[in-house]
Copies of this chain bind each other. A is one copy, B any other.
Amino acid sequence: MKNNSFTVAVLGAGNIGSSVIERLLKLDNEIINLNLSKVLVSDKSKNRGFDKGLLTTDFNEILNDEKIDLVIEVLGGVEPGKDYIKALLENGKSVITANKDIIADCGSELIQIAQENNVCLYFEAAVAAGIPVLKPLIESLRGEELKRVAGIINGTSNYILTAMEEGSTYEDALQQAQELGYAEPDPTNDVEGIDAKFKAMILSLLCFGVSPSVDDVFTDGISNITKEDFDWAKRLNKTIKLVSQIDNGDDGFNARVYPVLVDSKHPLASIRGALNAVLVEGENINQLVFSGPGAGAAPTASAIIGDVLSACHQMVSSQTNWYPLRTLKSGNKEFKDVQSSWFIRLSVKDEPGVLATIAGIFGENNVSIESVIQEGRGDNAELVLVTHEAEENNLTSSIESISDLSSVSLVTSNIRVFI
């Protein structure tokens, strides 16, 4: 058993790293005896607001320092962080990382290495930054059989969608997000759902013990959502959110990321701006929602500090942390077999029999229609349909056949409805 004093190193001193270092130095006096011994950087000459003697450019100085108990990885990107984490765990050091890319890529393997070496590996900040949700999922909800997890876990896209709900176009909202630093100059990762996909992969591992591959997770982004879609959503008392959804029902496991129409009274509808939320459903717990800041240096550093304290608590008794423990109820369910309800907007020629033909095609594909609204007349009428739940492949086939009709000039949009 160790005494209550721990030696820590940090890999990286960027935006988040600096915030973590500032918090670590404060923590030392208040809660726990922490000795920050080394910080890995690429440039030692830069002034960083803390003792320059801590800086090193050589990872091996940290890896081979026997006094170091715990290393915080905040480098960003997959390499070299991934190799560093493996080497550290294998060398008997506990690791905390905020790096969703690495955990999505090889979280399961890293957890195994941590367990084999009896060290801790925490990554609370990798999903929903400042919201303590991974630890409650692994520990407090360990005995629950979860049925569904659905999250708004990309702050940038939620910021854009919230601005659009308030009347912005997609282009204006994106520009605003970029000006405020919420979106990168190249926003692809955020707006195309790739960041949300990585986080969904981590939640899949923790909630259901499954590590789906990047290709297994159907992913659709928000860049095709228009102001008109929001106008329609409002008419239907709904809004539009980018949701990472993971089901594990009797019919199998599926993880996916897509924009959905959410009822305005649903808890996810009230998650606005850069906030994140994770909704968890199970038979005994009904529905839990964890919400809070999904991005930013201060909340991310808070999650890392929480992990540091958890790791220290475990290290006192030389224990590894709680590993995810879930087994899959049934097998995987392909996205084509997922049950969805679609909201569909069609540009049609307003002529006799159009609706009958369209309804007929849905019927042939076993899709039933919940509601239809026609707006306008003549060659530019708009037909807005909401279907009942049906299999994705039946919905896709229907839309393919419908888009081939001469009376249908355009499938303006089809967005799934959150059920």
- Which residues of A are at the interface with B, using a C-beta cutoff of 8 A? 23, 27, 31, 124, 130-132, 135-136, 139-144, 265, 267, 270, 282-293, 298-299, 301-303, 305-306, 308-310, 313, 316-319, 322, 325
Q: Say whether B31 contacts A143, CB under 8 Å.
A: yes
Choose among B23, B139, B299, B325 the residue that contacts A143 (Cβ–Cβ < 8 A): B23
CB A259 to nearest CB in B, in angstroms, measures 21
List 18 additional A-B contacts (Cβ < 8 Å) besides A132-B140, A139-B310. A23-B143, A136-B140, A143-B309, A144-B306, A265-B270, A284-B299, A284-B301, A284-B302, A285-B292, A285-B293, A285-B299, A285-B302, A286-B293, A288-B290, A289-B289, A289-B292, A291-B291, A317-B317
Q: Say whether A286 contacts B309, CB under 8 Å.
A: no
- 10 A/B residue pairs, CB under 8 Å, sorted by A: A139-B313, A140-B310, A142-B306, A144-B302, A284-B298, A284-B299, A287-B293, A288-B293, A313-B322, A317-B317
Q: Say whether B308 contacts A143, CB under 8 Å.
A: yes
Choose among B141, B305, B325 the residue that contacts A132 (Cβ–Cβ < 8 A): B141
- Given the interface pairs A136-B132, A139-B310, A317-B317, the reply to whether A292 lies near B284 with Cβ below 8 Å is no
CB A397 to nearest CB in B, in angstroms, measures 38
Copies in the complex: 2
Q: Say whether A143 contacts B267, CB under 8 Å.
A: no
Q: Which residue of B lies closest to A327 (CB)?
A: B30
Choose among B135, B289, B301 the residue that contacts A140 (Cβ–Cβ < 8 A): B135
B-side contacts of A141, CB under 8 Å: 132, 302, 306
B-side contacts of A325, CB under 8 Å: 31
- Given the interface pairs A140-B132, A140-B135, A143-B306, the reply to whether A291 lies near B267 with Cβ below 8 Å is yes
Q: Say whether A319 contacts B322, CB under 8 Å.
A: no
Q: Which residue of B lies closest to A306 (CB)?
A: B140
| A282→B299 CA distance, assembly (Å) | 10
Q: Say whether B143 contacts A124, CB under 8 Å.
A: no
Q: Which residue of B lies closest to A286 (CB)?
A: B293
Closest 5 CB pairs of A and B: A132-B140, A317-B317, A288-B292, A143-B305, A140-B306
Q: Which residue of B lies closest to A131 (CB)?
A: B288
B-side contacts of A313, CB under 8 Å: 139, 322
CB A393 to nearest CB in B, in angstroms, measures 34
Q: Which residue of B lies closest to A313 (CB)?
A: B322
CB A353 to nearest CB in B, in angstroms, measures 44
Q: Say whether B143 contacts A302, CB under 8 Å.
A: yes
Choose among B140, B293, B319 the residue that contacts A124 (Cβ–Cβ < 8 A): B140
CB A142 to nearest CB in B, in angstroms, measures 5
CB A292 to nearest CB in B, in angstroms, measures 4
| A288→B139 CA distance, assembly (Å) | 19
| A308→B286 CA distance, assembly (Å) | 20
Q: Which residue of B lies closest to A134 (CB)?
A: B140
Q: Which residue of B lies closest to A325 (CB)?
A: B31
